[in-house]
Amino acid sequence: MNAQRIKSRHAGLFLLWGFVLWLIATIIFHYGGNLLIDIRHPFRTALSFAAAIPLIYGCIAPLFSFLKVPYSDRIRRSVQIALPGMFMDIFSILFHDVAFPLISEQSLPLLAAWLFWAYSLILLVGLSPMKFRFSSHFIKKKKLLFK
């Protein structure tokens, strides 16, 4: 299989991963948005902003490591992860009363800010010069169990 086919196959994987992350986040905010984003509870809201940092890093960095994404390709892959959610959030914000029924109208700007923050973090992971390490110890151990 040539390198171009491998790259295009991975592009679909990153787009799919972005959609899955968006779907999970949307479900969480649909059912628990008032606990995470609320203008009347700034400390809780600040915690949700802070919690996004390790969560997003933990959802993207291991994928880069596992697929051995070179540094030169990470920003493109980060964009591919971010784009599906960015497009879908256009509609979830427009129809926020259906998508996020527990988030008050007054808290909607905080939700929009959180979304900008999350997508910025996705892009920053792609710009990060850090070396990502993925331990395949668990995968090897699991393969041994099923032999």
Give the DSSP per-residue string, 30-86. HHHHHHH--TT-HHHHHHHHHHHHHHHHHHHHHHHHHTT--HHHHHHHHHHHHHHHH
Task: Label residue 2 by pLDDT band (50, 70, 90).
Answer: very low
Pairwise pLDDT comparison (4 vs 79), residue with the higher score: 79
| CA of residue 85 relative to chain centroid, distance | 8
Longest dimension (CA), the chain: 57
Taking the domains of the chain in order of start, what are their residue ranges?
Answer: 3-145
DSSP state of 136: -
- Segment 55-91, tens digit of pLDDT: 999 999 999 988 888 888 999 999 999 999 999 999 9
- Segment 105-139, tens digit of pLDDT: 999 999 999 999 999 999 999 998 766 565 555 55
- Is pTM beyond 0.75? Reply is yes
